[in-house]
Amino acid sequence: MQLIECVPNFSEGNDLNIIKQITDEIEKIEGVRLLNVDPGKATNRTVVTIVGEPQNVIEAAFQAIKKAGELIDMSKHKGEHPRMGATDVCPLIPIANISMEETAQYARQLAKRVGEELNIPVYLYEAAQPNAARNNLSVIRAGEYEGFFKKIKEPQWKPDFGPAEFDAKRGGTVIGARDFLVAYNINLNTTSTRRANAIAFDVREAGRNVEVDGKKVNQPGSLKAVKAIGWYIEEYGVAQISMNLTNINTTPVHVAFDEVCTKATARGIRVTGSELVGLIPLKAMTDAGKYFLQKQQRSTGVSEAELIKIAIKSMGLDELGPFNPQERIIEYMLANEADSKLVRLTLTAFANETASESPAPGGGSISAYVAALGISLGTMVANLSSHKRGWDERWVEFSDWAQQGQQYKNELLRLVDADTAAFNKIMEAFALPKATAEEKAQRTAAIQAATKYAIEIPFAVMETAYKSMEVIKAMVQTGNPNSVTDAGVGALCARTAVIGAYMNVRINAAGYADKEFITGLIARGAEIQTKAIALEAEIIAMVNEKIGV
């Protein structure tokens, strides 16, 4: 499935009734998910995030643009953010299985329809705009709404689609395709827009123009792929640095935050927190958490939830209002809860579900969970060792082990639900109709495909559980000696998981027709089981030696 994201910005941030009428149009379109609605009072602007298959998304965007044009009167609009229309800007962003060029084609398709059917002047930008001289949003929007009555008459600013006459009520719209952009505001302990702008010019890639020997010379800012301006937000009573991070691989959020802190301090100003507008990728948050832990010389091998919590607190993302990761991180918004139904249960509920008359979760899921507990113990020892008094010079070593352990734990937790899903796939395949020869053939093919999947999942549990024993062994050998038995129990769990998962591989293999595939997999599984049993014995011997009693 191809997925694109669309982030239309509407020039209304105060009237929630208008905002809801616009988003209602989006929610009418099947196959589109409304992920986030983020109104700003001072900016008088609402950023909406939707995702879905391309044709569905551009239909939803078109209907939202149409409704915004009906409800918003730009002749009466005031706000801190630069703007030129009721739907000010509408970017499309490739998310999955789609290229930027394909996304740009959809942006052009949407722009053409808005211009021709709604008679709104439309400008293309970024990847959708073939003319490099006018693909920059800030250049297109220069002069804003008030200046476009004159600007649109200039030949070089003829719209790409729609009439070359400015619409006093609806204004103009910019539609394009771009990479994922993070809109991010940093709060200052000042009310001065001029001082905020000075800091913005210090950091933004475009920098500022300075006079050298009587000539204007550009002095670039310190951060690449960053656009920034300073403004005063009356709603909060503070000035902000408003930033667009156009490539968070080049300048991540945490780097932008720290750099603004440095530049602000140099000007006698303090950063008090920050604010995310719209959504952010999970990796940006976990990378930030790791960054701030590393600055403290603390282990980065903690859970995903803990990394996110540290990122929120370190950057003050909750200063102006609650920051709920489930509503602000794009992967969490897109996640299907059915894919993690079991691991979301409490321990008691999980045990009760296992003990019920339902055949799933069964041995495969339990093997994966036992392995997850085993490597969790090994990871705990790594974290304890990283923070052990007197071992300060070794914190990086143990932090690396803990990170590796977290990766194994996360994969094994995923496999808990995957194994039950594999069983369900087999049941669904057996339930298919078999009245005709064609139906019988389709049913047989579905059963074989589901059976192969049900073999591969427990085999992945075997491989992952065995690999995790490397971390556990290292913690017995070099970790905090006070926790050596914890690592030993982890080894027992990992061995159990390998043997248990191998049983599932073998019993599911009996129903698979490709015997050559089965022969090879069973042989590899036997080898992993033998190695796991031997490694567990080696680890337990080391544990007993260290206990010494």
Q: The CATH number of the domain where 487 resides is what?
A: 1.20.120.680
- CA distances 133 to 136, 137, 144, 514, Å, are 8, 11, 18, 59
Please give the pLDDT value at position 106. Answer: 97
Residue 81: active-site member: yes
Same domain? For 63 and 133 the reply is yes
* Residue owning tokens 């389709």: 442
Question: At 179, phi and psi to the nearest 5?
Answer: -75, 170
Residue for token pair 């920050």: 274
The helix or strand, by DSSP H or E, that contains position 516, with its residue range, turns out to be helix 515-547
Q: Which of 81, 202, 254, 486 is catalytic?
A: 81
Cβ-based burial of 316 (10 A; exposed 0-12, middle 13-18, buried ≥19): middle
Q: 215: domain CATH number?
A: 3.30.70.670
Burial per residue of 184-203, b for 16 or more beta-carbon CB atoms within 10 angstroms, e otherwise: bbbbbebeebebbbbbbbbb
Q: Write down the pTM of the prediction.
A: 0.82
The DSSP line for 362-396 is -HHHHHHHHHHHHHHHHHHHHHHHHT-TT-GGGHH
Structure tokens at 41: 């009072």
Neighbours of 209 (CB within 10 A): 12
Residue 281, amino acid? P
Do 112 and 26 belong together in one domain? yes
Question: Contacts by 440-447 with C-beta closer than 8 Å and gap 24+?
Answer: 447/511
268 and 375 part of one domain: no
User: Which stretches within 188-324 are classed as H helix?
Assistant: 193-203, 253-266, 282-295, 304-315
The answer to whether residues 72 and 189 belong to one domain is no
Does 264 share its domain with 135? no
- Token pair, residue 183, equals 């809109």
Catalytically annotated residue among 38, 202, 419, 486 = 419
Same domain? For 314 and 399 the reply is no
CA dist 411 and 461 (Å) reads: 9
Instruction: Round to whole Å and give the CA distance between 384 and 478.
Output: 12
Domain boundary, last residue among 177, 199, 223: 177
Among the candidates 177, 208, 243, a domain finishes at: 177
Q: Are residues 204 and 63 in the same domain?
A: no
Same domain, 129 and 245: no
Q: How many domains does the chain have?
A: 3
pLDDT of residue 33: 92
pLDDT of residue 334: 81
> Distance between CA 453 and CA 524 in Å, rounded?
17
Cα(455)–Cα(414) distance, rounded to whole angstroms?
A: 16
Distance CA 217, CA 285 (A): 37
Q: Are residues 162 and 200 in the same domain?
A: no
* Final residue belonging to a domain, choices 132, 158, 177: 177
326 and 400: one domain? no
Instruction: Report the chain (549 residues): mean pLDDT per 10 consecutive residues.
Output: 92 95 96 92 93 95 97 93 94 91 97 97 95 90 91 93 93 94 95 96 94 90 96 92 92 97 97 93 94 96 97 97 92 82 94 92 95 98 94 93 97 96 93 94 95 96 98 97 96 98 95 93 97 98 92
Instruction: Report how many helices (DSSP H) and strands (DSSP E) the chain contains, helices first.
Output: 17, 13
Active site residue 387: no
240 is in which domain, residue-wise?
A: 182-334
What helix, strand, coil percent values describe the chain, rounded to 5?
Answer: 55, 15, 25
User: 356 and 319 in one domain?
Assistant: no
Bridge partners of residue 122, in order along the sequence = 161, 173
**Residue ranges of E strands in 366-495:** none
- C-alpha–C-alpha distance, residues 23 and 426, integer Å: 40
Q: Is 40 helix (H, G, I), strand (E, B) or coil?
A: strand
CATH, residue 39? 3.30.990.10
Q: Are residues 211 and 293 in the same domain?
A: yes
Phi, psi of 32 (to 5 degrees): -125, 135
C-alpha torsion sign, points 91, 329, 72, 56? positive
